[in-house]
Amino acid sequence: MTNVKVDAVAKTYGSTKVLTDISTDFVEGSFTSLLGPSGSGKTTLLRIIAGFIKPDEGVVTIGNNDVTNVPVWGRNIGMMFQSYALFPHMTIAQNVAFGLERRGIKGAAARKEVDRALEMVRLSGFADRMPKQLSGGQQQRVALARAMVIKPSVLLLDEPLSALDRRLRQEMQVELLRIQRESGLTTIFVTHDQEEALTLSDTVAILDKGRIVQTGKPAAVYERPTTRFAAEFLGDSNFLEGKVEGGAVRLASGTVVRTASMLPANGTDVTLAVRPEKMMISAGEPGTNRLDARITTVIYAGPVLSYLLETPDGMSVKLFAQNKDGVVLKQGDTISLDWSPEHTIAVAS
């Protein structure tokens, strides 16, 4: 069931089209990440859903209500910000109770809701402290409690974990996911951190230059990117360019590469994407694609070794291998790579 719906939304600032004809549905109870580089329009889209920005065109629906002309304070949204945005002059309890007061809930009833919300984020003993006495992670949990306590129709997260250090961020991801699952609240999450998007989301929407270029489950988007941009922005990719020839692709070097993707007509230019971790140092298995290349750089990253390679005709290729036997191959060695046609994806460039 759809909970939040964005229909044909467009926004222009001066001569810059920030969003162009965005239409997407956010399923009830789902966790959706809007992922894209800065300037892709992901924050603008979130702020249009929140009501901070009015779209030039299009309709925003929350629940069954058209909220396009409803101001922020009337939309019943829960929002978290990168800077936590706690009210510094109020205690933690007063911060959490702020939204309840606006809804006419006061006194003992409010106190009970506040206690429950603080318990949910494991900050029960902190009700009477001031925000500046809390660590960044604790402040962000208060912000989550404050957003959740009003029982919002949708939870909007504007890069809420970006200001936290790595370990704390991972803890908060787990916490956020637990609370989101328990509450069954439709959640829209803006991030530029692809790993965060992959681990947290039910659905990932990739934005580029004000358009949604691909939407789907994280695994589907990662394994089957439809555009070169998606293949490059989400994870790493090697790109092989060639012409379609008899159901396969002939590269400029003459090497023929097979793919499981649907291909256009013979003679058409096509770009193939292959993930560096799907390539293997050759075991000579039949039925695979194969390339010879010379190692130019070996990068030791602990569990993974990355190799930068160059084919005889000057094409760069990247390969990630699990560190099973330590560094055996070295710069200058020529090796054969092979990979399955299943992992060779034709993408729009």
Partner 1 sequence: MRSDSLLNEAVRGPSGPRKHRMLPSWVATTALLLPTYAWLTLAVLLPLLTMLVFSFMSATPMGKAPITFTLKHYRAFIDQPYLLNIGWTSLVIGFWTTLLCAIFGFLAAVALARATVGRMRETLLILILLPFWTNGLVRVFSWTMVLRENGFLDNVLHMFFADAGSISFLYSRYAIVLGLVHGYLPYMILTCYIALVTIDDAIIEAAASLGARWWTILFRILIPMATPGLISGAVLTFVPVIGSFMEPRILGGKVGVTMGTVIEDQFTQAFNWPLGAALSFTLLAVVLAIFATFSGVLRRGAAA
Binding part of the chain for partner 1, among 96-104, 169-177, 210-218, 219-227 by CB under 8 A, reads 96-104
# chain residues binding partner 1, by CB under 8 A: 28
In the complex with partner 1, the residue whose CB is nearer, 40 or 153, is 153
* Greatest alpha-carbon span in the chain: 77
The number of C-alpha atoms within 13 Å of 290 and in the hemisphere containing its C-beta is: 10
How far apart are CB 207 and partner 1 at their closest, in Å? 21
Note whether 82 binds partner 1 by CB under 8 A: yes
How far apart are CB 341 and partner 1 at their closest, in Å? 49
Give burial (CB, 10 Å; 0-12/13-18/19+) of 280: middle
Phi, psi (rounded to 5 degrees) for 214: -160, 140
Which positions ≥6 away from 14 have C-beta within 8 Å? Answer: none
Please state, in angstroms and rounded to a whole number, the distance separating the CA atoms of residues 1 and 7.
Answer: 16
Q: Closest Cα to residue 157, out of 132, 171, 140?
A: 140
Note whether 87 binds partner 1 by CB under 8 A: yes
Tokens 């510094």 identify what position?
88
Among 8, 23, 69, 88, binds partner 1 (CB under 8 A): 88
Note whether 54 binds partner 1 by CB under 8 A: no
Please state, in angstroms and rounded to a whole number, the distance separating the CA atoms of residues 12 and 140.
Answer: 32
**Structural tokens at position 319:** 């390969």
In the complex with partner 1, the residue whose CB is nearer, 102 or 122, is 102
Note whether 106 binds partner 1 by CB under 8 A: no
Please state, in angstroms and rounded to a whole number, the distance separating the CA atoms of residues 205 and 216.
Answer: 7
Please state, in angstroms and rounded to a whole number, the distance separating the CA atoms of residues 117 and 127.
Answer: 11
Note whether 308 binds partner 1 by CB under 8 A: no
How far apart are CB 7 and partner 1 at their closest, in Å? 22
In the complex with partner 1, the residue whose CB is nearer, 52 or 222, is 52
Note whether 222 binds partner 1 by CB under 8 A: no
Provide the mask over 151-190, with x wherever binding to partner 1 is found by CB under 8 A and - wherever it is not.
-----x----------------------------------
Q: Which amino acid is at 313?
A: D
Give the binding site for partner 1 (CB under 8 A).
50, 52, 71-79, 81-83, 85-89, 98-99, 102-103, 143, 146-147, 150, 156
